[in-house]
Amino acid sequence: MAVWAREPLTEVRRPSLDLVVEQPSHAEQVALWQAALGPAAASLNGAVEQLAAQFSLSAQAIGQVALQQSVGGPVNGAALWDACRTRVRGQLDELAQRIEPLATWEDLIIPEGQRLQLHAIAAHVRRQTQVFETWGFARKHNRGLGVSALFAGASGTGKTMAAEVIANELRLDLFRIDLSQVVSKYIGETEKNLRRVFDAAEDSGAILLFDEADALFGKRSEVRDSHDRYANIEVSYLLQRMEAYRGLAILTTNLKHALDPAFLRRLRFVVNFPFPDTAQRAQIWRNIFPAEAPTADLQIERLAQLNVAGGHIRNVALHAAFLAADAAEPVCMAHVLAAARMEYAKLEKPLSEIERLGEP
């Protein structure tokens, strides 16, 4: 009798022979793709190497994808890439929320320094096989090969949008994991929940966005009891899996000051998302309304005086659009100011800024 399991079996009572079967290496996967695609592989202009670098598929899965894509016409790299994405996302769909990445670099209004950091993150994901395998860095540095990042900033400053932009550029799936739902009060359950997420993501190399990292991270205090000790174990386990994960794992937080510096050192990137200044808010207002949306006499420089972040500007614009549509009118300042009052009331902010904007 043969038994297959992802983890070694520890309670086998009868004599057994354990065989460790590893996933095909990058070179082996390239060879499997070439064999499955036949002569078409040579005409794909490096797509085979990219597929093997991004997706960790079995020989059977590679054969099935190649066969499905070869039916009905010539094989192309983009179709193979999308077929691999679709094939390996199933398990993660059950554990996390898949976000369709629509945002582009033009949509993201942040300082140039942070933009360069995000481009560097994308480059690390795109070129990791070349650097680690072809250039041999993995043989000299075999720890921390995963791309891990922390996005820190107030609510609405663009952290989730930045993850979308990177996923869009790399043409990868983006999955949002709510850490407040993963963390359990029962000892050992948090690690089990995290293990399920990372194991499900391993074949796809999808981008994992762990939202609300404050639910798990915190300044590490003296260990006074078993709960303190296990809380530290949970954080260490998450960082360990992020470092080992072959894709990109992103943590977001509104409270960077509450994070232990020892944890920050284990992350490859830390990107701070500042509150937008007046010029940046003006640019966000200029981009916020779709070209198809009718507008009339919007005073962008005045709207930029509203002291809210980009996420809240989006909410105001959306509210204003509904008010205008219901009145059968183009979006004008009156609709935007009415929508801003609703947003300020939700945030419990004083209305003085809006009242000043409403003055002639």
Average pLDDT over residues 45-52: 88
**CB-CB contact of 222 with 228 (8 Å):** yes
pLDDT at 99 over 50: yes
- Is 278-357 a CATH 3.30.70 domain? no
State the Cα–Cα distance between residues 166 and 106, nearest whole angstrom.
Answer: 12
State the Cα–Cα distance between residues 35 and 209, nearest whole angstrom.
Answer: 35
pLDDT number for residue 226? 44
State the Cα–Cα distance between residues 308 and 284, nearest whole angstrom.
Answer: 11
Residues 173-196 pLDDT 10s: 999 998 777 877 777 888 888 898
pLDDT number for residue 220? 45
The angle at the Cα of 31, spanning 30 to 33, to the nearest 5 degrees, equals 65
- Is 97-273 a CATH 3.90.1300.10 domain? no
- The distance in angstroms from the start CA to the end CA of the chain is 84
Q: Residues near 335 by Cβ (< 8 Å), separated by ≥ 6?
A: 320, 321, 323, 324, 327, 329
Work out the number of other CB atoms within 10 angstroms of the CB of residue 241. 21
Residues 207-254 pLDDT 10s: 999 987 776 765 444 445 444 445 567 778 888 888 889 889 999 988
Q: Which of 318, 319, 306, 301 is nearest to 356 (CA)?
A: 306
Q: Which two tokens stand for residue 324?
A: 């205008």
Average pLDDT over residues 151-155: 92
Question: Which pTM value belongs to this model?
Answer: 0.86
The angle at the Cα of 18, spanning 17 to 21, to the nearest 5 degrees, equals 135
